[in-house]
Amino acid sequence: NKRVKNKRISRNIIIGSEAFTLPPPGDPARPKGIPDDHTKRWTVYVRQPQGDPDFSIWLTKVSFKIFNTYENPLRVCENPPFEVTETGWGGFTIDIRLHFSPLSGEKAQYRQHFLQLEKYGDEKQQARQEAEGCVRSEYLEVVQFNEPTEGLFDALTNE
Ligand code: SLL
């Protein structure tokens, strides 16, 4: 697996979470089977920025390690969408592992995301989060491949 010298390829991904307030226990609108102390439904995700070429060429698997009281806390997504949806009551840090196409010869890369369930920001932001019943927390991440393999270089420069 020959490498292309003096080259670096960068790709952007979005890591984030969104959390929706659940109707309280006893409310007919509350979905069945959710423990009474769970107040939110949340999703943690790795997505591509809108308009970017298909990232599944190079990003082939994403694993999310969620809080260890959940069933099967290591959630592995072998295909997009790379996301996990659960319910709960509290936020925590999620360990994320990005796995790359075998032709890249790259080791997995590690990221973290704090699952933010509570409103945050200034008054205006919090008012909007309250009105939408949704708290979103996202950031842009850069994934860099230094001296990529020829296979990865060709795949990413022909996209
Ligand atoms: C802490 N950050 O103080 C917290 C932990 C865990 C939240 C938050 C339900 C988990 C389940 C849930 O929301 N846990 O149902 O297993 O340590």
- For 27-38, the pLDDT digits (tens) are 999 999 999 999
pLDDT band at 158 (very low <50, low <70, confident <90, very high): confident
The string over 18-36, giving b where at least 16 C-beta atoms fall within 10 Å of a residue's C-beta and e elsewhere, is bbbebeeeeeeeeeeeeee
pTM tops 0.90, yes or no: yes
Q: Is the pLDDT of residue 1 over 90?
A: no
Contact 137, 40 (CB under 8 A): no
Q: Measured from the CB, is residue 73 less than 6 Å from ligand 1?
A: no
Q: In testing the pocket of ligand 1, which one of 87, 89, 113 has its CB within 8 Å of the most ligand atoms?
A: 89
Q: Is 69 in the pocket of ligand 1 (CB under 6 A)?
A: yes
pLDDT in tens, 79-94: 999 999 999 999 999 9
Ligand 1 contact via 20 beta carbon (within 6 Å): no
d(CA 144, CA 159): 17
Spatial distance between the Cα atoms of 108 and 128, rounded to a whole number of angstroms: 37
CA-proximal residue: ligand 1, atom 6 (nearest) = 90
Q: Which residues pair with 96 in a beta bridge?
A: 64, 111
User: Does residue 86 have its Cβ closer than 6 Å to ligand 1?
Assistant: no
Instruction: Copy the structure tokens of residue 48.
Output: 């591509």
